[in-house]
Structure formats: C-alpha cells, structure tokens
Structure 1
Amino acid sequence: MDSSMSQKLTLVYASLLGAGGLMGYMKRGSKMSLVAGGGSAALFYYVYTELPANPVLASSIGIVGSAALTGMMGSRYLRTRKVMPAGVVSMVSLVMAGAYLHGLVRST
C-alpha cells in the first residue's frame, strides 16, 4: 500500500504523541500522560487508517483532535513556559491542524 504524505505525517504525529505519553509515565510516573498520549495516539492512528477511504471524515477528526491538543498544550505552555513537552506539542499540533484543514478543503 502506497501511503500519501498526509498519512505519513499522521502516523509520525500519532507515534510522537504515544511515545511522549509513555515517556511522561516512565520519567515521572504520570498515569495521565500515559492515558492522554495513548488516547491521542489511538485517535490519530484511526485518522491514519481512514484517510485513504474517507478523507473528509478523517480530516475533520484530525482538525478537532489537533486543535484540542493545541489549546490544551498551548495553555499549559503559557502557564509553565516549558518548551518540552507543552511548547513542542502545541506547535506541532497547530501545524497538523492546518494540514488537516488544507486536506479538508482539497477533499471537498
């Protein structure tokens, strides 16, 4: 199966979120990091699998999920001023929200 660039980016994004949640758990014992990272990774893996067959649905879910992460991690960054992980996740999520929006516009 030949993956599109959108799929590849989504798979990388899902992997980074999952790895970040696992690292938060291993480093600080944060169960919330594990649940949030794992849940986000699962959501974006679903987006990855749906992109070829149903790009409008997948892009819509991607926009909502990445916008939510942008808001949550962006506010956490503003509160703590910690670049890792809050600043990085908020910026990557903002870029991904734009990418999903672009994909949605192209699909309709």
Structure 2
Amino acid sequence: MESSSSSVSQKLTLVYASLLGAGGLMGFLKRGSKISLVAGGGSAALFYYVATELPKNPVLASSIGIVGSAALTGMMGSRYLRSRKVVPAGVVSVVSLMMTGAYLHGLIRSS
C-alpha cells in the first residue's frame, strides 16, 4: 500500500475505533451497561491495533479489519432490525459495512 493511502486508511480506522469506544462508554454511562463498555472498548482496541499494523502489514491488518467490521455489521444490523433504533445500532451497522468495504478494497490493492 502506498504511504498516502495508508495514512488515510489509518486515519479512518482511528476514527472508527474512536466511534466504537465512545459508543461503548456512552452505553455504560447512560444505561450502566457493562457489556457496552467491554464490547466498545474491545472493538476500539482491536481497530487501534489494525491502524497500527496497516503500514507494516497491510494484508494482515486489512484481513483483521474485514473480519471485525463484518462481525459488527452483522451484530448491529440484526440489533437494528429488532429494535429499529438508528442510534447506536443503525449507525454502527452502516459505518461498519462501509469499513468492511474499505478493508476489502485495501486487501485487494495490497495483494
């Protein structure tokens, strides 16, 4: 991956990780949900790792990103379909779907 696109990929991944971490913290603060805190924090940590690995090993990082973001797309998409709540389930599922596509694009470019 070239350095300029790697930089953009890293920035997008860091924004995604921040969104997930902030969402988990908000779920904990608003409803006392420890599951939200752990899931949001764990997801944020995973995608922070992906961001740090993108310049060094883009194939591995993109592969981890695809699996993680696709899993979040499925989980939060099904939660949205059950609850019809746009925030957080709808937003996270749409952003995760877009990130899955971005990681897939990065993987194809790196291979």
1:46 corresponding residue in structure 2: 49
Distance (whole Å) between structure 1 residues aligned to residue 14 and residue 55 of structure 2 = 13
Q: SS of the counterpart of 1:4? A: helix
CA apart distance, 1:103? 0.1
TM-score by length of 1: 0.97
Q: Work out the percentage of aligned pairs sharing the same amino acid.
A: 87
1:79 corresponding residue in structure 2: 82
Flag as ranges the 4+ runs of structure 1 deviating above 2 A.
Answer: none
Show CA shifts across 1:39-96 (max 9, x none).
Answer: 0000000000000000000000000000000000000000000000000000000000
2:91 corresponding residue in structure 1: 88
CA RMSD of aligned residues (A): 1.0
Which residues in structure 2 correspond to 1:1-108 (within 5 Å)? 4-108=7-111
Q: SS of the counterpart of 1:53? A: coil
| Number of residue pairs the alignment of both structures matches | 107
Structure 2, unmatched stretches of 5+, are none
Structure 1, unmatched stretches of 5+, are none
